[in-house]
Structure 1
């Protein structure tokens, strides 16, 4: 879990502060043509889901390692640690959604029935968050150096998933490369629902779901195969 004194408050404040910095850098500072409430709403629709992903994988990656003391005393299924963290992060994200809705309303984006389209989008992100978190948790006890790839991967998602730029404005060949990142489609879907009042296309969410499902199945299979190995490796 996140070891901060502000706890959930910081979980909300961090993406808001980062949104402010990105707004200053890309709107009011260097790209004044983008300044305005619409660009701020655009940033928020990317930053808050990104924070959910970043917190989930960062806190889950070493969940088995961090609980080696418990595993040395009695048996527990190893998947339970990353799953409990992901459940906690999901609840925090749901608690933050009203703040996002309020900010969008103040920016002129009126809620509609189309906002129910968030349900499949959130489900898709939950699957991929959980899959990648479990995969990281399953492999890091065996190859500890992989822990250094977690913050690098989070940074990669930040800069390649269109959080502070419109992927649709890039050349077609660049779009194809950017959409290899499954989170790019997820963040586009958040904006399609919240900013354009459109239901997400299920076909567009298929790729993130497939990546998440493959990661989840692979991680669970690995954890099951190494179930009795982890306590010995972590001694």
Structure 2
């Protein structure tokens, strides 16, 4: 049964990518253009003074935070109403509700994998050639997969019961954008401000991308522990909620 459900996740995730390609003139080019355009806007907005000392080419510094952020933002924004948006399916036959946000997370992960070579190529051309430290990207990406998935499922599990969350989720995404050190170096802030900013688990994740690509440092377990803990706890709580409310969702969504 689980194998069948995972096959549904795969098919829905891949079909979502195909639908994106068919419903726009530029197709997959948008997967690259969207984060790059957003990066360009932030570059022009914060390319002086405000950012503090990044210690690296600011455009590359920005890309190392912006592309992973866009992955997270797409996951949670699309997942938060995934159960609500599929109420027609739920009214016809039974499916585990975790399938819907998981399918979206799979689709967004595949998109990120398509964009990742752009980031690596830009880093290389900017004077940061590949090194053995780049293998450290694997645990960093894994930690973000867990964090994205946990928060996405939690948003998906609660939004059908608390419709007001659909207005709160975009604010939370904006909060992550401005508090995770995407366009400034957290270490350049006063110690008390650093402690506050590092409560955001994505601050550590985005910093680890830079550690690997710009500083040739392989992340330690300690670097990824906090984001993983937040991700795992969110995932466990979300799955527990989805299981407890499994038969409640169809009634609430009528």
TM-score by length of 1: 0.94
Structure 1 pair 203–34 and aligned structure 2 pair: CA distance change class (3 A)? closer
Aligned CA RMSD, in angstroms, stands at 2.0
Pairs aligned (count): 234
Q: Is the 8 A contact 2:53 2:188 kept in 1?
A: no
The correspondence of residues 136-215 of structure 1 with structure 2, limited to 5 A, is 136-215=155-234
- 2:234 matches 1:220: no
Q: Deviation of residue 196 (structure 1)?
A: 0.5
2:100 equivalent in structure 1: 81
Q: 1:32 to 1:213 in 2, by over 3 A?
A: closer
> Is contact 1:25-1:31 (8 Å) kept?
no
Question: Is 2:39 the counterpart of 1:19?
Answer: yes
Q: Counterpart in 1 of 2:4?
A: none
Q: Distance in 2 between matches of 1:201 and 1:144?
A: 39
Q: Which runs of 5+ in 2 are unaligned?
A: 1-15
What is aligned with 2:7?
Answer: none
Question: C-alpha separation between the residues in 1 aligned to 2:51 and 2:100?
Answer: 45
Cα distance in 2 between the residues matched to 1:233 and 1:7: 36
Distance 1:31 1:227, change over 3 A: closer
1:131 aligned to 150, 157, 173, which one? Answer: 150
Shift of 1:7: 4.7
Q: State the shift of 1:13 in Å.
A: 1.3
Contact 2:54 2:61 in 1 (8 A): no
Whether the aligned pair in 1 keeps the contact of 2:150 and 2:236 (CA below 8 Å) is: yes
Counterparts of 2:127 and 2:140, CA distance in 1: 22
Shift of 1:26: 1.8
| 2:149/2:235 contact within 8 Å kept | yes
Structure 1: gaps (5+ residues) = none
CA separation in 2, counterparts of 1:195 and 1:61?
Answer: 33
Q: Which residue of 2 aligns with 1:66?
A: 85
Structure 1 residues 212 and 37: CA distance shift in structure 2, 3 A: closer
Q: Which runs of 4+ in 1 moved over 3 A?
A: 1-4, 30-37
Deviations 1:46-104 (A, max 9, x none): 00000000000011000000000000000000000000110111111011111111111
C-alpha contact (below 8 Å) 2:50/2:184 kept by paired residues = no
